[in-house]
Amino acid sequence: MIFKYLLLFVFYKYSVWAIDDFGFDVLNLRQEIEAVKVEILGTNNASFDVLIIVRSQVGEYHQKRLEQFEGNLRKQIHDEYTLIFAIVCLHEIETVVQGSWTLIPLIQHEFRFVQSAKWVIITEDSTELNLSKLSSFLSTKDPVLPQYFGHCIIDKKPVIIHHFWPYTMDKITLKYPLFASGVIFSQTVVRYLSELDMDDHIPSNIPYTTIDIQHEIAKLISTTQLVNLTCEESFCVEKDRHCMTWVNVQMNKGCENKDYTYEGLSIAVKTYAENYSTRLQLIIKTWLSDTRDITKFFTHSLENTSQFDGEINFIDVGFNNTGGGHCQKMLFIMKYFLQNEKGHWLAIIDDDTFINMERLTRILSCINPESEAIILGERYGFLQIEDGGYPYITGGGGILINRKAIRKFIDEDVYCPVGAPDDMWLGMHSKVHGIIMLDFPNFHQSVESTYHKDYIKSFMPVTYHRIGTVKEYEDTLKG
Ligand SMILES: *[C@@H]1O[C@H](CO)[C@@H](O)[C@H](O)[C@H]1NC(C)=O
Ligand SMILES: *[C@@H]1O[C@H](CO)[C@@H](O)[C@H](O)[C@H]1NC(C)=O
Ligand SMILES: *[C@@H]1O[C@H](CO)[C@@H](O)[C@H](O)[C@H]1NC(C)=O
Ligand SMILES: *[C@@H]1O[C@H](CO)[C@@H](O)[C@H](O)[C@H]1NC(C)=O
Ligand SMILES: *[C@@H]1O[C@H](CO)[C@@H](O)[C@H](O)[C@H]1NC(C)=O
Ligand SMILES: *[C@@H]1O[C@H](CO)[C@@H](O)[C@H](O)[C@H]1NC(C)=O
């Protein structure tokens, strides 16, 4: 009963907001639009209905992806649309509000241009949209209703990337949107999110890590009982005639740059004696045959390594295993790279990270490693959802770092505490030293069965972590 009243109150509150339109004055709105470079398609006045927020990234390569995305939309602008569209790029907003890629800090910042939009669409730079279809679709919907639309996916079991929530299979009902297909929030959902006190919704006892924001945001909207995601067939993965949105799957497969060879890459595997008989045997039987010449295994003593003569190239780091963190070891690996290797890229991986070399090559061939200091892989966020902390590339999925970035770390002589988590330490210092961090959802901190098949289909997998058998490698990462 109480709940019903609460809901009524919520409806009342948000409808009133929508009507008085926050009293935005056009001048302030226009200033803001200029400051964060909101592009209004097809008109030069400051009013628009639909705001497309593209999860763009910094760096030359992602700039090209963004140009392709924006070009596709500009080409489609016609006078007969009933709605006016605007685009804003997340990497621009990120310079004003940190952690904007997790959306919550961006929405809670209460930008006028976000709050005044009737609809907010979140997309990746690899999402394709049919504006004519979108315009017709949204013209039939009411932005005052709390509702959001997307390509629904649902977990088959509780998974680590969703903190195992809701802990038992029979309780899994949460439908969450595949961001790569785009998701559309009504004005009321956006305003609701902008008002939520995040302290009530994220655990205060453990520092919050953003792993999969598409799930985290749906969970927030559903568990606070506002509304569930509406599944729309026209939000597709693969392009088809009925699709209003789809994924440019080809873009996420990297590039066909014939000049690129993987002699430009060195692979450093972190290992230690106790893992030799199990994990190293599996690496030998899976990806190592493609990469033997460029791969070195960093361990704490050369004892018991002769069994791998001719197969594995070991390097003794010269200090004992600290049992966790591996921060000191990573610093050793980076120094070793600068002194002994010639290539542009270093991959730092665990002894249970699995790679498809051909696909990794395709990704790396998109990027000019000589122009910027870069670290790339699967991005997580430490306290980013609260407008603080830092993003980092999660270690298990593999960290790619170029010579320019390594040079910065070493030249700055950054301190690396024994036992500190290496990946988070890198993330924190990347931010401080202006190293470009690129998120590639092709890298994975877990095994394939953790992710939804449509997510896997959208971003060609390059790595998985914790594969247990040769067969699992062949089924999920080979071919
Ligand atoms: C904005 O532009 C549209 C079409 O380009 C026009 O119909 C409308 O009157 C303009 N609004 C203002 C406030 O100038
Ligand atoms: C969008 O869909 C319409 C049909 O609804 C079609 O005529 C048009 O070519 C499509 N545009 C794009 C860019 O796919
Ligand atoms: C969302 O879906 C769940 C499970 O189907 C249901 O229990 C819940 O009441 C729904 N919430 C709303 C706000 O409709
Ligand atoms: C060795 O394996 C254990 C689990 O069996 C793992 O926790 C540890 O991180 C591995 N060591 C290294 C150096 O990767
Ligand atoms: C090497 O192998 C022997 C016999 O299995 C074992 O007792 C010893 O602890 C190993 N050394 C290291 C450094 O793990
Ligand atoms: C490293 O470990 C060995 C035994 O495993 C021990 O004898 C040695 O003192 C340790 N070294 C340091 C610096 O802790």
Q: Is 359 buried (19+), middle (13-18) or exposed (0-12) by CB count in 10 A?
A: middle
Q: What is the DSSP letter of 168?
A: S
Name every protein residue with a CB atom under 6 angstroms from any ligand 4 atom: 270-272, 274-275, 350-351
Closest CA to 135 of 150, 152, 147, 119: 119
pLDDT of amino acid 24: 62
Measuring CA to CA, how many Å separate 259 from each of 252, 357, 368?
19, 16, 11
**Strand-strand pairing, 176-177 and 152-153:** antiparallel
pLDDT of amino acid 13: 33
CA of 77 to the centre of ligand 1 (A): 15
Question: Which atom of ligand 5 is closest in space to residue 273's alpha carbon?
Answer: 14
The whole model's pTM is what? 0.92
CA of 222 to the centre of ligand 3 (A): 7
For residues 194 and 14, what is the distance between their CA atoms, to the nearest angstrom? 12
Is any ligand 1 atom within 6 A of the Cβ of residue 340? no
pLDDT of amino acid 18: 37
For residues 16 and 14, what is the distance between their CA atoms, to the nearest angstrom? 5
Question: Which tokens is 266 given?
Answer: 């060195």
Residue 11 CA, distance from chain mean position: 33
CA of 300 to the centre of ligand 5 (A): 12
Which CATH architecture fits 262-476?
Alpha-Beta Complex (3.90)
Over the chain (479 residues), the average pLDDT of each successive run of 10 is: 34 36 71 93 88 98 98 90 95 94 95 96 98 96 98 97 93 97 98 92 79 96 93 98 98 87 90 94 94 96 94 95 85 97 96 96 94 97 90 97 96 83 94 94 98 98 97 94
User: Which residues, listed in sequence order, are joined to residue 185 by a DSSP beta bridge?
Assistant: 120, 148
CA of 352 to the centre of ligand 5 (A): 21
Among 278, 280, 304, the mutation site with the greatest number of ligand 5 atoms within 8 A of its Cβ is 304
**At 319, is the secondary structure helix, strand, or coil?**
coil
Report the amino acid identity of residue 188.
Answer: T
Q: What is the DSSP letter of 420?
A: -
Overall fold of domain 2-248: Spore Coat Polysaccharide Biosynthesis Protein SpsA; Chain A (3.90.550)
User: Which residues, listed in sequence order, are joined to residue 465 by a DSSP beta bridge?
Assistant: 353
pLDDT of amino acid 23: 56
Among 77, 130, 242, the mutation site with the greatest number of ligand 2 atoms within 8 A of its Cβ is 130
pLDDT of amino acid 11: 36
**At 131, is the secondary structure helix, strand, or coil?**
helix
For residues 326 and 457, what is the distance between their CA atoms, to the nearest angstrom? 33
Domains 2-248 and 262-476 agree in fold: yes
Give Cβ neighbours of residue 475 (< 8 Å, ≥ 6 apart). Answer: none
Measure the N-to-C terminal CA separation of the chain; round to a whole number of Å.
Answer: 56
**For the chain, which residues make up each domain, given as ranges?**
2-248, 262-476
Question: Which tokens is 478 given?
Answer: 């080979």
pLDDT of amino acid 7: 35
